[in-house]
Structure 1
């Protein structure tokens, strides 16, 4: 039976993907903050948005992402810069919310965009881990002697499946903290922590360019 991918190679890919999925990065940091701000439903909407962006990346991979990166490196650099600025904007809004807490205890301390789905998509489409994955990690696992589409489909299932589990765990963990958001001191401290973390993620994106 001629399988779409080599089983041993696929098993290795699963191991690499598992490590990448659980490693804290912009997507998982966003998941926590999003869960705290918007609760369980918002956390899951953010997960959907981030994995929609992952599907876009897989579509780009099917069209020859590696060749596009070589031909138009500045486009991907601009995407990363835009993503870094967006993550920084989320962090700044979190800090602004934290310092408004003293004057207005009922004001949300983590101010994001209007849509968890859109926020999630924007964070993931410019996530340096995603760009690194599709330009450096995935290509070695593709067998040029086998049809590309079935391989990419199986890799997409594994990638999105693990990302959904990891992002959901981070997001629901953040939602669990939402109960304590009624405490002004905790709310302010968490907003400051989240803001600093998101700004650090933005710096990480820029330093990897």
Structure 2
């Protein structure tokens, strides 16, 4: 019986993927920032959005996108720039919100508060997807890290399915830990002065994630 993947290669891949999953990067910084500014539910939705984007990358890899990225790197550099600018906009928006006056909300504003929370949770899913779909770390993964672990003599789809399961499983654990850690910190920031400083820190984290995306997309780091 021929296994879908070489066990030794798969074991080596698991080791590499574990290191990549826990290393701070745009995705994990986004998870921290989302948990800190929006809470646990939004953090987990952001993680879901990022891993949906990872599934899209794996599907694209199955269709031969890796070769296209190598042939047309400029097109994917543009995607990275657009993604980095989007994350930078999120950071600037968070900082502006932190610096804006925060008038008290009367009891009659309960419905508006609930609506705002639902909107933030929905946008966390989209934001997470956008962060990961434009993440140069994902491009690097599918063009440089993954190919050496693929065996041309074995079914490509079966191999990619197992690699996807390992990648997404480890990313979900790592991203969720970062996001819930940020949410735990956020839960303690009940005083307005602390909250303002915390939101400024969240904005700075998002700007840092944006810088990582832009610099990696341009091959600087």
The TM-score with structure 2 as length reference comes to 0.87
Asked if the contact 1:32/1:175 (under 8 Å) is kept, the reply is: yes
Secondary structure of the corresponding residue to residue 89 of structure 1: helix
Q: Would you say how many aligned residue pairs link Structure 1 and Structure 2?
A: 205
Secondary structure of the corresponding residue to residue 2 of structure 1: coil
1:24/1:168 CA distance change after superposition, 3 Å: same
What are the equivalent positions in structure 2 for 1:38-187 lying under 5 Å apart?
A: 38-100=38-100, 103-104=101-102, 115-187=123-195
Asked if the contact 1:98/1:192 (under 8 Å) is kept, the reply is: yes
Aligned-residue offset at 1:147: 1.0
State the distance in 2 between where 1:38 and 1:199 align: 17
State the distance in 1 between where 2:189 and 2:5 align: 47
Secondary structure of the corresponding residue to residue 181 of structure 1: coil
Structure 1 regions of 5+ residues with no counterpart? Answer: none
State the distance in 2 between where 1:96 and 1:181 align: 18
- Bigger shift: residues 68-77 or 125-134: 68-77
Find the structure with the greater CA-based Rg: 2
Asked if the contact 1:94/1:194 (under 8 Å) is kept, the reply is: yes
State the distance in 2 between where 1:105 and 1:145 align: 65
Aligned-residue offset at 1:105: 6.2
Aligned-residue offset at 1:186: 1.9
Moved over 3 A (4+): 105-108
* RMSD, aligned CA: 2.0
State the distance in 1 between where 2:48 and 2:69 align: 26
Asked if the contact 2:27/2:50 (under 8 Å) is kept, the reply is: yes
The TM-score with structure 1 as length reference comes to 0.91
Secondary structure of the corresponding residue to residue 188 of structure 2: helix
**Among 191, 205, 208, which residue is 2:213 paired with?**
205
